Structure 1
Amino acid sequence: MSAYRYIVRKWVKPEDLNQHDALFGGRLLEWVDEEAAIVAVVQLGSTDVVTRHMSAIDFVGRANRGDLLELEYRVESFGRTSVTLSCRVDNVVTAQEILRLDSIVFVAVDEAGHPRPHGFTEPTTGTERLRVSGEAA
């Protein structure tokens, strides 16, 4: 698979903290899933995608208020109806890994919610697949 990478940065704000003044794990998972869905939409050329699976989640580091996080996604593989991504979250301020997900699987679905073939085998770096499918119009 190609070396496609998608990076987004998030700033940890006071409303993102738990009772220990650290980043709330649920907030981080929300960010991870939302950005992964955006990557999947771009890769599959459709906004009709659903999260099918996430590998084991292991919080190995901490983020505090004011820290800057970097969420890096890679396209690992394409299936007939799916795309598999990986994600690594690093704390840019402390240079510490926060979280790693080896596998996040998204599936393209039809109007009834059934898996549908997407026809892609290689990653794209742009949004042209959405424009070709007419969904960005």
Structure 2
Amino acid sequence: MTRDITVDVELPHGPETVWRALTDPAALAEWLMPVRDFEPVVGQRFTVHAKPMPGWDGVVHCEVTAVDEPHTLAYTWRGSRMRATTTVTWTLSESAPGRTRLLLQHNGFPGLSGAVLAFMHRNGWRRMMTTRLAAHLAATGPMS
């Protein structure tokens, strides 16, 4: 049995603006975490870097698995202490003119340890999307 995470938010910005926040390495560093070697290209391997903690080096290894600009972005996600590779999928849809429904699905947390990791990730993703991403979008606004 695996545990899955779903976080669904509506943002007062168009899909193209939200897409940039999900795919621009500088933007990701501002609201998510610093990334190395990220490009929204299927097969691209990259790493996400968080503050190391006891028992974890802070590095998440990823590979882009799907890109449909500006609708879908998916990649694998595996921290150095995770037993299984999980999948992060972002789905963007225009909910009204100038507004985006952003759905995050983070799937594939197996077993009891997976339940604990899913719980920790769920809280982190929710905070990232409702606080940090929203603040980043408000500060940067639409880009031409």
TM-score normalised by length of structure 1: 0.34
More strand by proportion, 1 or 2?
2
